[in-house]
Amino acid sequence: MQLCDTHCHLDSSRYFEDFDAVLERAQNAGITRFIIPAAHPEDLERAQSLAHKYSNVYFATGTHPNGAHLHNEAFVRSFINDPKCVAVGECGLDYYRLDEDMREFGVDSKEEVKAMQYKVFLAQIKLAIESKKPLIVHIRDASLDSLNILQSYASKLKGGILHCFNADFQLLSLAKYNFYYGIGGVLTFKNARKLVEVLPKIPLESLLLETDAPYLTPHPHRGERNEPCFIPLVLDKMSEILNLPKEQLVAQINQNTQRLFGEL
């Protein structure tokens, strides 16, 4: 088994002390390639550095919606031509913590937060179109607005991945536009009934695996720091729900990964 963790924040300070051991555990578990999504601007240069130090580590450039107030277009664009930069994002809309974002963004209303997130999301969509690189999309409590934006630009995009897919049925319509659905540790949670229900409705040709490490650690390791080596737990659960052999899923997911990100 040789799988790619399509979304793992290996630039996090939580891996500073044992990064090589984390990679070794992952590779021993059959996880051989890693994509670090952009989140906070302060971490982008570390992500790039790791990608150049390790041949099987790649990164994306962009700004997380909760950091939209920190977005620097020139800075984000400065990474786009790096050969180890394989995508734009994670970017998108997140309405889950609008009150907190109001304080951090320094604005007076939730609508101003949404407008700022929209502007930054749109800038990154345009960068993905321009660079012909896939989009890594973060959606939380903002499915309809996100869907409307993505449908408007889908025909121009190379495609993308709905990171940590939120199991919203209406987002399944994006599969026809070469969008993929990132499935991670949430699938193993006891309260993941909606995701368990929607998983069989996702085309097999649109499934990808991720961890969102160090977050969203799968059962039975909840409460621990997440690592790419836990992906087999997600794969096991996926195999059980879909009633498909793991070998078939691995082959299909590897094809999907290559179709979206190219040869990694």
Does 174 have pLDDT greater than 90? Answer: yes
Q: What integer is the mean pLDDT of 94-121? A: 97
Does 70 have pLDDT greater than 90? Answer: yes
Beta strands in 37-127 (DSSP E): 57-61, 85-94
Among residues 80, 84, 168, 177, the alpha carbon closest in space to that of 123 is found at 80
On the CB side of 159, CA atoms within 13 Å amount to: 17
pTM exceeds cut of 0.95: yes
Residue pLDDT, tens place only, 152-162:
999 999 999 99
On the CB side of 157, CA atoms within 13 Å amount to: 30
* CA–CA separation, 108 and 129 (whole Å): 33
What pLDDT shows up at residue 190? 93
For the chain, the maximum distance between any two Cα atoms, rounded to a whole number of angstroms, is 52
For the beta carbon of residue 144, count every other beta carbon within 10 angstroms: 12
Residue pLDDT, tens place only, 59-69:
999 999 999 99
Q: What integer is the mean pLDDT of 199-223? A: 97
What pLDDT shows up at residue 264? 92
Confidence of residue 246 (pLDDT cuts 50, 70, 90): very high
Percent of the chain, pLDDT > 70? Answer: 100
Task: Tell me whether strands 207-209 and 179-183 are parallel, antiparallel or unpaired.
Answer: parallel
C-alpha separations of 231 from 32, 47, 182, 199, 226 in Å? 11, 21, 12, 16, 10
What pLDDT shows up at residue 91? 98
What pLDDT shows up at residue 1? 83
